[in-house]
Amino acid sequence: MALVVQKYGGSSVADAKSVKRVAKRIAEAKRAGNDVVVVVSAMGDTTDDLLDLAAQISPLPPKREMDILLTAGERISMALLAMATNNLGIKAKSFTGPQAGVLTDAAYGKARIVDVVPHRIRTTIEKGQVAIVAGFQGVNRKEDDVTTLGRGGSDTTAVALAAGLGADVCEIFTDVDGVFTADPRIVPTARKIHRVTYEEMLELAASGAKVLALRAVEYARRYGVPLHVRSSFSGAPGTLVSGTYGDLIDPNAPDGDKEEDVMEDPLISGVAHDRSEAKITVTGVPDKPGMAARIFEVVAASGANIDMIVQNVSAASTGRTDISFTLPEGSGPSALAALRDVKDEVGYENLEFDDQIGKLSLVGAGMKSHPGVSARLFGAVRDAGINIEMISTSEIRISIVTRADSLDDAVRAVHTAFGLDSADGEAVVYAGTGR
């Protein structure tokens, strides 16, 4: 008998009919002899709707109240799903994040899980019942307040419970058949990836592939939880996320450079895109030691996580330079305010804010040992007539910034240039609004 944690995303439980359909899948897994723990997201776009509602009430709502509001979404779906499962003759009980023992720090809106003490979930399993847990939420023990784990956080709840319970597998059920070489909503010819390492999935998720939340992948890697990403709308096998690049290297290969002998190792695992960042440019910064340090100290203190940074060569005649960086769009206003406060101290000339940017990232562990990847990427973007505004790289990723309205074309061009297009028909998107 296996212990399975199944997570169903919002688009899988968007309405009453879908809730009943998911209940059937849960019943099948239980009747097949497994112990089943389910994590469920809020129905459809409920979380976005609640955010919109709050914005109509208050421009800057207290974070504590915001979290109490948002956790309501998952409480609705967990109770309905438990009712639907009971209707099928399978005993099921729903639990909020706090009841399930998901303990977090106090960072409302982006709380980190610090421990999982799933006593009630264990007792439920021991009674032969299905435990249905509200995703995306926990409790901050110090204040005894509910917290949320950041967007997409139900994935993290599922992985954390799977680790805490020692589950055999954590299945992430969503509205596409697995992790693809690009978002199927943008690239219909995207190909399903059968297996991907934690390392590559981390880069994909960090670069905007929202099929898995970044923290969930980090957690899975740390605790060695294998993930199976698949569709709740089909029976097709999905994508296995597990292992490291080293595991793919054939131990029986003749000696020499083992990386050369990686079996079936694709050069590129995928192309991710991200529309959620903005760019700030500080113009006319005096080109002398300490200025960049001061600018980024101030931005960091405003709570922004900086992604890419570009500093232009200073014009010798003026002794001044421009510094641009990207950050999450939502962090823009506070970062700008913080920079305005030090305008005289730093002596820069101007601040520009641009939220019409898009980021494309090419990810693949194989690119470590292959020259010419950047040249091919830049060539593809050039041939599509798209301008590159910023570039950054890591060992297994190259990212570029373009205009937001060119991003989809850039993703398709790069996907084709690396031979990732599938010949066997279009990738299916079963549901969801892509919001």
Residue 333 token pair:
């206003």
Closest CA to 264 of 340, 196, 337, 180: 196
| Residue with Cβ nearer Mg ion (9 or 358) | 9
Closest CA to 172 of 221, 227, 216: 227
| Residue with Cβ nearer Mg ion (152 or 178) | 152
Helix 154-165 × helix 119-126 angle, to 10°: 70
Residues in contact with ligand ASP by CB under 6 A are 9-10, 41-42, 47, 73, 135-136, 151-155
| Residue with Cβ nearer ligand ASP (10 or 364) | 10
- The interface partner of residue 277, options being ligand ASP, ligand ADP, Mg ion, none and the CB cut-off 5 to 8 Å by kind, is none
d(CA 128, CA 119): 15
Phi, psi of 224 (to 5 degrees): 65, 35
d(CA 399, CA 367): 13
- In whole angstroms, the minimum distance from the beta carbon of 11 to Mg ion comes to 9
- The interface partner of residue 151, options being Mg ion, ligand ASP, ligand ADP, none and the CB cut-off 5 to 8 Å by kind, is ligand ASP
Instruction: Using alpha carbons, list the distances in angstroms from residue 433 to 4, 46, 175, 298, 429.
Output: 28, 12, 10, 37, 10
Residue 351: how many CB atoms within 10 A of its CB?
A: 14
β-bridge mates for residue 354, sequence order: 279
Q: Is 10 in the site for ligand ADP (CB under 6 A)?
A: yes
Residue 332: how many CB atoms within 10 A of its CB?
A: 19
- In whole angstroms, the minimum distance from the beta carbon of 210 to Mg ion comes to 6
Contact at 8 Å (CB) between 391 and 410?
A: no
Q: Is 270 in the site for ligand ADP (CB under 6 A)?
A: yes
Site residues for ligand ADP, window 41-60 (CB under 6 A)?
41
Q: Is 152 in the site for ligand ADP (CB under 6 A)?
A: yes
- The interface partner of residue 118, options being ligand ADP, Mg ion, ligand ASP, none and the CB cut-off 5 to 8 Å by kind, is none
Site residues for ligand ADP, window 174-233 (CB under 6 A)?
174-176, 179-180, 182-185, 209-211
| Residue with Cβ nearer ligand ASP (154 or 399) | 154
- In whole angstroms, the minimum distance from the beta carbon of 211 to ligand ADP comes to 4
Residues that bind ligand ADP (CB under 6 A): 9-12, 41, 152, 174-176, 179-180, 182-185, 209-211, 270, 429, 432, 434
